[in-house]
């Protein structure tokens, strides 16, 4: 639920295959997945 609050677009796309999401939606998904384990720190790097 917290991830959906931060990224409401993902809630709209919940049943859609990850490979068919746009690049930005895939980035939101990756960040959301990393947040699900409630980490103390998330290290991100832009390619």
Name the stretches of the chain with pLDDT < 70: none
Residue 26 maps to a domain? yes
The confidence score (pLDDT) of residue 46 equals: 80
Task: Give kind and range of the element (H or E) at residue 12.
Answer: helix 8-12
pTM of the full structure: 0.79
Helix, strand, coil percentages, rounded to 5, for the chain: 55, 0, 45
What range does the domain containing 26 cover?
A: 2-35
Number of domains the chain is built from: 1
The confidence score (pLDDT) of residue 8 equals: 94
Residue 41 maps to a domain? no
């Amino acid at each position: 639920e917290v991830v959906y609050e931060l990224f409401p677009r993902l809630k709209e796309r919940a049943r859609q295959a990850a490979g068919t999401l746009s690049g930005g939606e895939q980035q939101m998904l990756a960040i959301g997945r990393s947040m699900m384990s409630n980490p103390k720190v998330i290290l991100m790097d832009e390619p």
